Amino acid sequence: MQTFFDFARPSDDLPLMREQLRAAFPGYLPHNIREPVGQLLKSMISSRTKDTVSLRSYEKLVRRYSSWPDLAEAPLAGIEEAIRDVTFAPEKAAHLKEALRLIALVSPEFDLSWLRQRPVSQALAWLETLPGVGRKVAAATLNFSTLAMPAFVADTHIIRVLGRFGIVGERADTVAVYDAVMSLAPHWTAHELSEFHVLIKQLGKTFCRFEQADCQLCPLSENCRFATSRLNARQVGVTRHRSPPA
Ligand code: SF4
């Protein structure tokens, strides 16, 4: 696993990125709309699936089973059918049902508000004991739900953008990105971390897409490692082109 210390980035990188992205993408709306179990389940079924598809599947699921106890008792086939449009629906349905069973053991009311009393690291660690829950899902449960705890959510867009920019190595994983952001912005609130997630994701869907980086249009290009190395490579190419033959 790659660590986040591959590049020495100054600690004011993230605040500067945030200011530039705020200017580029005004109108941030906070998450924090679902209770923790709802956010956990929504995040569990969201991986490798378009946001619109996973949201539609989640809404179908909670319409079909109107309480967490009902959902916990639901037949696996019914859960799988409700979320059939997401990727790996059979595996996700099984994880979801088992996660609810484990949650019921510590909280028969399916109330995870007790996590707020724990340090973020402990709350993450507990959530990550549930099947199908890695750092991204655990952090989303803490940060995006009504728990509103300071935990940064790193999805594929975030990993790609922060890798190209140089905050982490380009092959960094979710945990490395989480560690890097939490280390560089240790005092950011839950709201600020959530906003940063949304802003970086927006950049990843527009200027810094997987298949193409439009660096010349990007608000972060001045300090971006990828954009700088690309520019340097072009300048070297131009210089070589202009050099007289030996
Ligand atoms: S400058 Fe280019 S590589 Fe860097 S974040 Fe922007 S689009 Fe991505």
| Residue-level pLDDT, tens digit, the chain, 246 residues | 444 444 556 667 899 999 999 999 998 776 668 999 999 999 999 988 998 999 999 999 999 998 999 999 999 999 999 999 999 999 999 999 999 999 999 999 999 999 999 999 999 999 999 999 999 999 999 999 999 999 999 999 999 999 999 999 988 999 999 999 999 999 999 999 999 999 999 999 999 999 999 999 999 999 999 999 888 887 776 666 565 554
* Structural contact between residues 44 and 103, judged by C-beta atoms closer than 8 angstroms: no
- Give the residue whose CA is nearest to atom 1 of ligand 1: 221
- Position 153 in a domain: no
Coil, strand or helix at 120: helix
> Into how many domains does the chain fold?
2
- Position 150 in a domain: no
**CATH number, position 5:** 1.10.1670.10
If you measure from the C-alpha of residue 230 to the centroid of ligand 1, how many angstroms do you get, rounded to a whole number? Answer: 10
CB distance 164 to ligand 1 below 6 Å: yes
Helix spans in 25-133 (H): 36-46, 51-64, 68-73, 76-82, 89-106, 120-127
Q: Which residues of 206-243 are buried (b: 16+ CB within 10 A; e: fewer)?
A: ebbeeeebebeebbbbeebebbeebeeeeeeeeeeeee
Domain extent for 18: 1-25+163-246
**CATH number, position 84:** 1.10.340.30
What's the rounded Cα separation, in Å, for the pair 173 and 175?
A: 6
Kindly state the DSSP code that residue 67 receives in the 8-state scheme: S
Same structural domain, 126 and 48: yes
- Give the residue whose CA is nearest to atom 2 of ligand 1: 215
- Position 237 in a domain: yes
- Position 197 in a domain: yes
| End-of-domain residue from the set 111, 144, 177 | 144
Same structural domain, 50 and 129: yes
Same structural domain, 114 and 174: no
Q: What's the pTM?
A: 0.90
Same structural domain, 139 and 215: no
CB distance 226 to ligand 1 below 6 Å: yes
Among 13, 164, 225, name the best residue to mutate to test ligand 1's pocket (greatest count of ligand atoms within 8 A of Cβ). Answer: 164
- Position 152 in a domain: no
If you measure from the C-alpha of residue 229 to the centroid of ligand 1, how many angstroms do you get, rounded to a whole number? Answer: 11
